[in-house]
Amino acid sequence: MDVTEYIKLVFTDYTLRTITLGTAVLGAVCGMLGSFAVLRKQSLLGDAISHAALPGIAIAFLISGAKDSNVLLLGALVSGLIGTFWIRGIITKTHLKADTALGLILSLFFGFGMLLLTFIQKQPNANQAGLDKYLFGQAATLVESDVWLMATVTGICFVVLMLFWKEFKILLFDADYTKTLGFNTKFIDILITTFIVLAIVLGLQTVGVVLMSAMLLAPAAAARQWTNSLGIMIILAAIFGAFSGVFGTAISASQNNLSTGPIIVIIAGIFVIISFIFSPNRGLLFKQIRFIKNRRDLQLNKTLAFMHQIAKTHESISHPHTVKILNNFQGYTRSTLQQLVNKNYVKLEGNMWSLTEEGFTKASNLYNQQTSDNE
C-alpha cells in the first residue's frame, strides 16, 4: 500500500480514521502532561500508576458486570489514584525510598490485577472477553465515543493548563517560593497529579498498562532537547506524541500482526534518539563537535603562545627559528603548524619558522584575554 493511498484511506475508512485520531489525541495529551512528569522528576510514577490501574479495571468490571469502557476507566482512575497516594504515603512516612515504593506498588497492584483478571476469565460470563486488552492495549478496539472522551479530556486539560499556566510553571520550578507568594501549592500539585493519572488511564485501552509510561516520557524527553522554553517544550511534546500516534497507527495498519502500542512506543523512542543526538544545543553530536573544535583551538592557541614566548626574546618578531624547538612542545603537531601558516600567523621557510605581524598581535591578545578571563 503506498502512502497516498493510505492517507486517502485514513479519511474514508471509519475504523482507521477513528484509530488515527484516537492515537493522535492520546499522543498529544500524553506529551503535554508528560512534560510535567519529566520536569517534576516523577518519570517513573507514570509506570507505577499505569500498573496500579489494572485492579481498578477488574474490580469495576466485577461490580458493574459490563464492559462499558467509561466505567472501567473510572475504576482505573480510582485505583491509579490510590496507588499514587499510597506511594506518597510510603515515601513520606517510612524510611523506604522512592524507587522501592514505586516498584512495590507497581508489581503488587499489577499482580493483584492479574489475579482478578484470571479469576474473571474463569467466570461463566460471556462478557468478560477482551479485558486483557488493557495489558498491551488494542488501538483497534477504539470507537468514536472513546475518541470523543479523549478529546474532551484533552480539551479540559488544555483549558486548565492555559488558565493556570503561570501557577504550574512556578510550582514546577520553585515550590517553596510559590508558597511564600501565597499560592495554595497543594491544590496546584493535586491538579497536576490528577491530570497525569487521567492521561495514563485514557491511554490504557490504546497502549496498555506496560507501555503507558513511555507514551508519557518519550515525547517530553525528546521535546526538552530542542528548546529552553517551557511553553515550546510542551507544544513540541504534544506534536511528537501526536506524530508517534499517527505513524504508529499507519505502520501497524499496513503490516500484519503488529499491535499499535509497541509501534507507537518505538516511534516515540526514535524521536528521543534523534533528539538526543541531533539537537543543536544539547545534542550529543554537536556537543562532541564543539568539544573537538575547542580542543583544536586550544592546541593551536597554545602553540601560537609558545611561539610568541620565543619570538618575544628576539628583537625582531620575524626572526626565524628552527622547527626543532617546537618538537618538545606538547601542543605541537605538523598539522597545527600548517594551520597557523594557513591563517597567516606564521611564515614557514624550509625548516625555519617565524611569526608574522598578525600572528604576534594575535598571540599577545590571546595572552591578555586569558588573564582578564581569570579575573
Partner 1 sequence: MSNAQIEIQLIACIVAIACAIPGTFLVLRKMAMISDAISHSILPGIVVGFFITQDLNSPLLILLAAFTGIITVVLVEYIQKTGLVKEDTAIGLVFPTLFSIGVILIAKNANDVHLDVDAVLLGELAFAPFDRLRISGVDVGPKSLWIIGSILLITLGLLIAFFKELKISTFDKGLAASLGFSPIIIHYGLMTVSSITTVGAFDAVGAILVVALMIAPAASAYLLTTDLKLMIIYSICFGVFSAISGYWLAHGLDASIAGSITTMLGILFLVIYLFAPNKGIIAILYREKQQRTEVSLLTFLLHLKNHKEIEERHVNHLNEHINWQKVRSKTVLDLALKNNMISIDKNIVSLTAKGDEFTSQAIDYIITNEDTQIEDMKDDFFLFRG
Partner 2 sequence: MNKIAVKVDDLTVAYNYKPVLWDIDLEIPEGVLMAIVGPNGAGKSTLIKSILGILKPIAGSVSIYGKSYKKQRSLVAYVPQKGSVDWDFPTTALDVVMMGTYGSLGWIKRPGIKEKKSALEALEKVGMLPFKNRQISQLSGGQQQRIFLARALVQNASIYFMDEPFQGVDATTEIAIINILKELRKANKTVIVVHHDLQTVPEYFDWVTFLNVKKIATGPVKDIFNDDNLTKTYGINYKVSIQE
Question: Are the C-beta atoms of residues 331 and 299 closer than 8 Å to each other?
Answer: yes
SS3 of 353, please? strand
Which position among 1, 63, 66, 115 is part of the footprint of partner 1 (CB under 8 A)?
Answer: 115
Smallest gap, in angstroms, from Cβ of residue 165 to partner 1? 22
∠ CA 88-94-98 to the nearest 5 degrees?
Answer: 50
Which position among 147, 233, 242, 263 is part of the footprint of partner 2 (CB under 8 A)?
Answer: 233
Q: Which does 316 bind (CB under 5 to 8 A by kind): partner 1, partner 2, none?
A: none
Which position among 156, 159, 258, 285 is part of the footprint of partner 1 (CB under 8 A)?
Answer: 258
Cα distances from 56 to residues 75, 77, 87, 231, in angstroms, run 4, 7, 16, 34
Q: How far apart are CA 258 and CA 186, in angstroms?
A: 43
Size of the site for partner 2 (CB under 8 A): 26
Q: Work out whether 262 is an interface residue with partner 1 (CB under 8 A).
A: yes
Q: Work out whether 122 is an interface residue with partner 1 (CB under 8 A).
A: yes
Given strand 321-322, what is the order of strands in its sheet? 321-322, 352-355, 346-349
Q: Is the dihedral of CA 89, 91, 95, 100 positive or negative?
A: positive
Stretch in the footprint of partner 2 (CB under 8 A) among 94-102, 162-170, 266-274, 356-364: 162-170
Contacts of 19 (CB under 8 A, 6+ apart): 139, 140, 142, 249, 253, 260
Residue listed under C-alpha cell 515550546: 232
Q: Work out whether 85 is an interface residue with partner 2 (CB under 8 A).
A: no
Q: Work out whether 166 is an interface residue with partner 2 (CB under 8 A).
A: yes
Q: Which is nearer to partner 1, 223 or 355 (by Cβ)?
A: 223
SS3 of 345, please? coil
Residue listed under C-alpha cell 591563517: 343
Site string for partner 2, 170-209 (x = CB under 8 A): x-xxx-xxxxxxxx--------------------------
Binding site for partner 2 (CB under 8 A): 39, 41, 163-167, 169-170, 172-174, 176-183, 224, 227-230, 233
Binding site for partner 1 (CB under 8 A): 38, 41-44, 46-47, 51, 89-90, 93-100, 102-104, 106-119, 122, 132, 135-136, 210-211, 213-214, 216-218, 221, 224-225, 257-259, 261-263, 265-266, 269, 272, 276, 282, 284
